[in-house]
Structure 1
Amino acid sequence: MRRTFSAKELEKATDNYHESRIIRKDEDATFYKGVLPMLDDDKIVVAVKKYETNKTYAVIEAAVASQTNHINVVRFLGGCVVEEEKESALVFEYIPNGTLFEHIHKEEALGSFEGSSSSPTALLSLELRLKIASETAGALAYLHSLTPPIIHLRLSTKHILLDYHNTAKLSAIGQSQADPNSSQYMDPHYRRDRLAEKSDVYSFGVVLAELLTSQKPASPNNRGEEPPLATCLLSSMKEDRLNQILDGEIIVNEATSKTAKKVVDLAKRCLRSKREERPSMEQVAVELEGLRKFMAEHERGQPSFSIRPNSN
């Protein structure tokens, strides 16, 4: 635990967990915007994650999150676990610009986009999507490099947050140890073994597919088949009809078209059925950084955001 907060400190910081302070809700917890005093009479804005029932989840998440220190991982500040009560809370840095999911799909959640330089109507360019993907890959590669490695296993665009500068901040570190991912991003071939980190690679492949198509992944069926978005992307590539599935609003010239096809090829390798044939997250991060530099050379002078045409 980085710092132990008292229950009263966090109640005061969140105005007694007032409804107006809610940022978002997860399956087992609610995030509140809070303000904590600093030693120099300054104040810091934080996100307080209040677990409603299972205190064990908070203990596990705190133990894992306290091991991390990376610019693209949401910073864990501490928490409050009260032995005699079921409720507990963890404190993280406040990331003001919403989730990547909200930006891709233009779904404004409560508390999102506050003070942001972007808006729910702004379209993320391919160049900016590459930047976010590259930063997220770097964060995952960092987690995998730790001893022992931290396997995320809950990767999704809802767990990639964006700050004022649209810098990616990976969240939900440590949640999988208490509650493994069963979402549409989960590797159907996941096993808790020496190749477990390759399941993060698979999930990242789904994120790449979502970034390229601006489509939502659908839940896998009960036979454990690949999420339909991943399957659709791979079949479109095989049948040479990528243009039918890629988001035409981010493919605006020859440079973006060529780059998108290279990213599709990377996604394909991340989504391979045999885990041992997938690249490592370090390899993915290096490749994405190279593509990002390629885009920067060809897209100078163009804004990272473009505005969707008004349908009215």
Structure 2
Amino acid sequence: MEMSGFCVYKVSYGGRRTFICDQNVDHHGRSKSRAAFLGVGITILVLFLTALGIVLYKVIQRTKDKRLKKICFERNGGLLLKQQEARNEGLVGETRIFTSNELEKATNYFNKNMIIGRGGQGTVYKGKLNDGRMIAVKKANAVDQSQLKQFINEMVILSQVNHRNVVKLLGCCLETDVPILVSEFISNGTLYEHIHHENTRVILSWSTRLQIAIEVAGALAYLHSAMSIPIYHRDIKSTNILLDEEYRAKISDFGTSRFVSIGVTHLSTLVQGTIGYLDPEYFQCSQLTEKSDVYSFGVVLVELLTGEKPFSSSRFGENRSLAAHFLMGFEEGRVMSILDANMVREGGRDVLLEVANLAIKCLNLCGKDRPTMKELAIELERVGTSQKSFDG
């Protein structure tokens, strides 16, 4: 008997060959081949369907994200910004619109350890862009309609301001659930912290304080009279004046600021501001004028001179207000005793009294009798020159 493939054949004595095929062996081999082929096919199909499912999910998710971002962009004032760009009134310089991914990466997904400030309108995070620039990222609080308007208002105003003593707006992000402002990072804290020694051990010298006053006055004069459309800041205070490493002043927080048409002397509006800095005339009449900023600046001048807080429960009666306390001391001829002892030692008496007199003029209860910010900027520049002569 001989074997060939899956068949055997038998040779008889007469030379006749008889083939006998093993059908079981052939069937078993084909079954194994079919099962292996079927297994491979099912595996490939499952992998293909899985990959297809992942791709479809990503496409649907991407489409959904784009639609959501578009809704947020429009709700957060994106159309208004585009209209301004078209009229060449909007984004100036390097101001641009950031993506949410950029800002998430810059702030480590808005990590709480990156928070550098909180306010009524939002939370400020420190961030770092891919090009190495440090930024301040201001994220609005919950989507309250009035706060949203203030946030958009700040974005629109800052997009049109370009002054070395005003915080520079780098851009914004409108595709998130709440709008986000991106500005230059000012590293040395607020003027309030330095005057009142909060989170700092460095005492500002009189020369530095005077230079800060000169810079803030110049920036406000620019906002009031040098721009094509004047701006009233409406909330000038030492916490809204930031300092860089060289103690250069930068005005910030334009959330409640207002544009003013040329020729308009006042705006009738709801009173907004901070206790201690609020113009009494504005508080009583609800009429906002450029002189309202002048009054608030006068309070900052008094802070710089005295080192005292704008409102203190440790002072009695009406004198809880620093402005009232200073005015009373001036009227009683004891203004020098109210001034910060360090400032009296460092600055010349004549220079200090000149600045004190300017502060008194700013705090006049009658707005029309107060000087303009332009006049104050000129006077403070002159005083600064006198101080340099005194310093030798």
TM range, normalised to the smaller chain? Answer: 0.7 to 0.9
Question: Counterpart of 2:252?
Answer: 171
Equivalent residue of 1:164, what SS? coil
Q: Deviations over 1:163-220 (max 9, x none)?
A: 1111101111243349931432110111565x61100000000001111000001179
- Name the amino acid aligned to 2:186: I
Deviation, 1:82, is: 2.8
Paired position in structure 2 for 1:310 = none
> Which residue is equivalent to 2:297?
204
The answer to whether the 8 Å contact 1:205/1:271 transfers is yes
1:108-123 alignment runs, 5 A limit: 108=199, 120-123=200-203
**Deviation digits for residues 109-141 of structure 1, max 9, x if unmatched?**
xxxxxxxxxxx2221111111100000000000
**Is the Cα contact below 8 Å between 1:188 and 1:226 reproduced in 2?**
no
Q: Aligned to 1:64, what secondary structure does the other structure show? A: helix
- Once the two structures are overlaid, the 10-residue window that deviates more, 150-159 or 241-250, is 241-250
Q: Distance in 2 between matches of 1:219 and 1:179?
A: 22
RMSD (Å), alpha carbons: 2.0
| Compared CA separation, residues 226 and 250, structure 1 to 2 (3 A) | closer
Structure 1 residues 160, 298: CA separation in 2 closer, same or farther (over 3 Å shift)? same
After TM superposition, the structure 1 = structure 2 runs for residues 16-31 of structure 1, keeping only pairs within 5 Å, are: 16-31=109-124
8 Å CA contact 2:271, 2:286 repeated in 1:
no
- Give the whole-Å Cα distance in 2 for the aligned partners of 1:299 and 1:288: 16
| Structure 2 equivalent of residue 216 of structure 1 | 309
Structure 1: how far apart are the matches of 2:312 and 2:279? 12
* Alpha-carbon distance in 2 for matches of 1:100, 1:257: 23
**Correspondence for 1:53:** 142
- 3-state SS, counterpart of residue 121 of structure 1: coil
Q: How has the CA–CA distance of structure 1 residues 91 and 179 changed in structure 2, closer, same or farther, with 3 Å as cutoff?
A: farther
Q: Write out per-residue CA displacement over residues 53-109 of structure 1, whole angstroms, 9 at most, x where no aligned residue.
A: 2433221111111110001000011111237x2x2210000000110000001101x
Question: What is the letter of the counterpart of residue 70 of structure 1?
Answer: H
Q: What corresponds to 2:241 in structure 1?
A: 160
1:90 aligns with 2:181: yes
Corresponding residue of 1:297: 389
| Equivalent residues of 2:223, 2:231 under 8 A apart | yes
Q: Name the aligned partner's letter for residue 384 of structure 2.
A: R
Contact 1:215 1:229 in 2 (8 A): yes
Select which of 78, 91, 97 maps to 1:4: 97
1:258 paired to 2:350: yes
Q: Compared with structure 1, are the counterparts of its residues 219 and 153 closer, same or farther at alpha carbon in structure 2 (3 Å cutoff)?
A: farther
1:278 maps to what in 2? Answer: 370
Q: CA deviation at 1:226?
A: 8.7
Distance in 2 of aligned mates of 1:123 and 1:148: 38
Size of the aligned set, in residue pairs, is 277
Q: CA deviation at 1:227?
A: 6.5
Query: Match for residue 159 of structure 2?
Result: 66
Residues 59 and 81, structure 1, Cα contact 8 Å, conserved in 2: no
Question: Which residue is 2:380 aligned to?
Answer: 288
Q: Deviations over 1:246-271 (max 9, x none)?
A: 10011116x52221111110001001
1:81 corresponding residue in structure 2: 174
Q: Deviations over 1:252-293 (max 9, x none)?
A: 16x522211111100010011111110000000111111111
> Shift of the alpha carbon at 1:52?
1.5
The structure carrying a bigger helix percent of its residues is: 2
Structure 2 CA distance for aligned equivalents of residues 97 and 200 of structure 1: 24
SS of 2:138's equivalent? strand
What TM-score comes out, normalization by structure 2 length?
0.67
Residues 104 and 214, structure 1, Cα contact 8 Å, conserved in 2: yes
Distance 1:271 1:179, change over 3 A: closer
- Unpaired runs of 5+ residues, structure 1, are 109-119, 301-312
Q: Distance in 2 between matches of 1:219 and 1:143?
A: 30
> Larger Rg: 1 or 2?
2
Higher relative contact order, chain-length normalized (CA < 8 Å, sep 6+):
1
Q: Which residue type is aligned with residue 257 of structure 2?
A: S
Q: How do 1:39-50 and structure 2 match up within 5 A? A: 42-50=131-139
Aligned partner of residue 235 in structure 1, secondary structure = helix
CA distance in 1 between partners of 2:324 and 2:271 (Å): 26
Percent same amino acid among aligned pairs?
A: 42
Q: 1:297 offset after TM fit, Å?
A: 1.2
Match of 2:220 in 1: 140
Matches within 5 A, 1:221-232: 228-232=321-325
Counterpart position of 2:209: 129
Instruction: Determine if contact 2:312/2:322 at 8 Å carries over to the other structure.
Output: no
Residue deviations 1:137-177, cap 9 Å, x none?
00000000123210001100001111111110111124334
